[in-house]
């Protein structure tokens, strides 16, 4: 086999070295610039929440005790006729409330739907007095109360688009909404104990900022939040 010998002149070697050095410096420069422009993903959201002005829509925590007795049209008046939060749900609600207090997230109002699992979850957060509102009921409770099903979406839009008091956030504790009766896709998919953070934009207008699952709280303000939506 014939061996091919390649010789490089000093000037060629020097030029190649200069090119490689320049490329390396550019890579380092770009990386440093990107790092300086990109804050830790958890921090912007925490800073926003501390400033206030957001609606924190929480689906009640874990509930598997009993079931809703739809045969009784007034099941929503009696906790024994409803699905209720479990011991696990109690722990989850306490945990979320503790994180919110420790992280100094200001809360002005806490509002829950009429069902016991929503009210109990809201109370266990210990973020302030809990108000109740029919506007935060699930579809079956809404219609059992004799309300027009077509008005349910308008009720949710009102709650999500109403600005909180200056410097505070509003916490809404409610239920998942299904299909055509979900004012935003996240409310059709939201898991128990998860919070969807909305920015109110005026009458009937709002935008989703992030979602906070139960496992995200230890990351908030520290590092990347695994399930948080990107800030818009």
**Residue 64 domain-assigned (yes or no):** yes
Residue 135 belongs to a domain: yes
Element (H, E) at 117: helix 116-125
Residue 227 in any domain: the answer is: no
pTM: 0.79
| Residue 43 contacts residue 221 (beta carbons within 8 Å) | yes
Q: Please check whether residue 160 lies inside any domain of the structure.
A: yes
| Phi, psi dihedrals of residue 170, rounded to the nearest 5° | -105, 130
How many structural domains comprise the chain?
1
β-sheet bridge partners, residue 198? 55, 208
**Which of 134, 164, 162, 139 has its CA nearest to residue 149?**
139
Asked whether the CA dihedral 197, 203, 204, 206 is positive or negative, the reply is negative
The rounded Cα 49 to chain-centroid distance in angstroms is: 11
Q: Is 128 helix (H, G, I), strand (E, B) or coil?
A: coil
- How far is the C-alpha of 159 from the C-alpha of 9, rounded, in Å? 75
In 164-227 the beta strands, taken as DSSP E runs, fall at: 169-174, 195-200, 206-212
pLDDT value of residue 6: 45
Domain that holds residue 214: 42-219
User: Is 3 part of a structural domain of the chain?
Assistant: no
Q: Are strands 169-174 and 107-112 parallel, antiparallel or unpaired?
A: parallel
Residue 20 confidence (pLDDT): 54
Looking at residue 81, its pLDDT comes to 96
The tens place of each residue's pLDDT in the chain, 232 residues long, gives 554 444 556 565 455 555 455 444 444 433 433 343 333 444 589 999 999 999 999 999 999 999 999 999 999 999 999 999 999 999 999 999 999 999 999 999 999 999 999 999 999 999 999 999 999 999 999 999 999 988 999 999 999 999 999 999 999 999 999 888 889 999 998 999 999 999 999 899 999 999 999 999 998 888 666 555 444 3
213 domain-assigned: yes
Residue 225 in any domain: the answer is no
- Please tell me the predicted confidence (pLDDT) of residue 34: 38
Please report, for the domain that includes residue 75, its CATH number: 3.40.50.1240
Which pLDDT value is given to residue 4?
47
* Residue 94 within a domain: yes
Best CA proximity match to 123, nearest among 79, 173, 63? 173
pLDDT for the residue numbered 26: 42
pLDDT value for 50? 95
């Amino acid at each position: 086999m014939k061996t091919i010998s390649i010789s490089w002149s000093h000037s060629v070697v020097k030029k190649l070295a200069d090119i490689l050095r320049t490329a390396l410096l550019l890579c380092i420069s770009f990386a440093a610039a990107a790092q300086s422009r990109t804050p830790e993903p958890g921090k912007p959201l925490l800073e926003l929440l501390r400033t206030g002005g957001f609606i924190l829509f929480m689906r009640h925590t874990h509930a598997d005790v009993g079931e809703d007795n739809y045969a009784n049209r007034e099941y929503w008046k009696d906790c024994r006729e409803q699905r209720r939060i479990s011991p696990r749900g109690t722990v989850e609600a306490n945990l979320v409330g503790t994180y919110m207090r420790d992280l100094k997230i200001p809360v002005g109002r806490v509002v829950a739907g009429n069902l016991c699992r929503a009210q109990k979850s809201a109370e266990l957060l210990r973020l302030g007095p809990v108000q109740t509102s029919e506007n935060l009921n699930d579809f079956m409770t809404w219609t059992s109360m004799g309300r027009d099903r077509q008005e349910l979406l308008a009720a949710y839009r009102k709650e999500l688009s109403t600005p909180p008091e200056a410097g505070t956030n509003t916490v809404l504790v409610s239920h998942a909404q299904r299909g055509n009766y979900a004012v935003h896709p996240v409310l059709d998919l939201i898991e128990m104990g998860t919070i969807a953070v909305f920015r109110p934009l005026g009458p009937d207008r709002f935008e989703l900022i992030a979602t906070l699952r139960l496992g995200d709280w230890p990351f908030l303000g520290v590092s990347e939040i695994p399930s948080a939506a990107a800030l818009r």
